[in-house]
């Protein structure tokens, strides 16, 4: 893995997707990547929320490196309640 890059596993609609991310970028940058990789392109990134495995929401403005994720971490991307629909 190149320096400053990190692989994150993001579960989208129950299916894990691996995303390569720049650890110096805000965590919000992984949302459109995970949606594209998983084929979930029908809803804009703003309609989704990113949480840890326990369901705790992540501050989308924080840099990825600031979270100190352990290797093999899994995050969950799900539709926000009441988004669209």
Q: How far apart are CA 84 and CA 42, in angstroms?
A: 11
Q: End-to-end distance of the chain based on CA atoms, in angstroms?
A: 39
Is it the case that residue 11 has pLDDT exceeding 90?
A: yes
Residues shown for the chain: 85
pLDDT band for position 81 (50/70/90)?
confident
Q: What are 15-21's contacts with CB under 8 Å, separation 24+?
A: 16/74, 21/64
* Mean pLDDT, residues 7-25 taken together: 95
Query: DSSP character for 41?
Result: -
Kindly report the pTM of this predicted structure.
Answer: 0.88
**Using one digit for the tens of pLDDT, what is the confidence trace for 44-75?**
999 999 999 999 999 999 999 999 998 889 99
């Amino acid at each position: 893995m190149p320096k400053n890059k990190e692989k994150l596993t993001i579960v989208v609609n129950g299916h894990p997707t691996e995303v390569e991310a720049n650890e110096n970028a805000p965590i919000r940058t992984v949302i459109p990547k995970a949606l594209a990789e998983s084929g979930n392109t029908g809803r804009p990134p703003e309609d989704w929320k990113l949480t840890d495995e326990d369901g705790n929401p992540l501050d989308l403005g924080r840099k990825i490196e600031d979270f100190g994720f352990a290797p093999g971490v899994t995050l969950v991307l799900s539709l926000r309640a009441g988004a669209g629909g």
